[in-house]
Amino acid sequence: MSKESQYKASKKYDAKMVVPLYVKLNRKTDADIIGKLENVPNKQGYVKQAIRNEMEREDNYEKNDDVARCGQMVR
């Protein structure tokens, strides 16, 4: 595959499947975040995993909250 056809294929794939994201961090107020990200080899993977971990915690919290409410109704 030529470079040009590979470029076109990548561009088509990105247009269909990729959502670009841009984050601005302030050197003063976000210094802790910047420092952490500077020491992470895969910033994109790190951020994605952090978000997935948070989503899992929220899901588990909601499930536990639902169970607690069900127990209160039975009594």
User: How many separate domains does the chain show?
Assistant: 1
pLDDT given at position 73: 61
Q: Which residue has the higher pLDDT, 64 or 50?
A: 50
For the residues of 6-59, what is the DSSP string, one character each? HHHHHHHHHHHH---------TTTTHHHHHHHHT-S-HHHHHHHHHHHHHHHHH
Residue 74 pLDDT level (bands cut at 50, 70, 90): low
The predicted-structure confidence for 2-58, as pLDDT tens digits, reads as follows 999 999 999 999 999 999 999 999 999 999 999 999 999 999 999 999 999 999 999
Q: Give the range of the structural domain holding residue 67, as residue numbers without chain letter.
A: 3-74
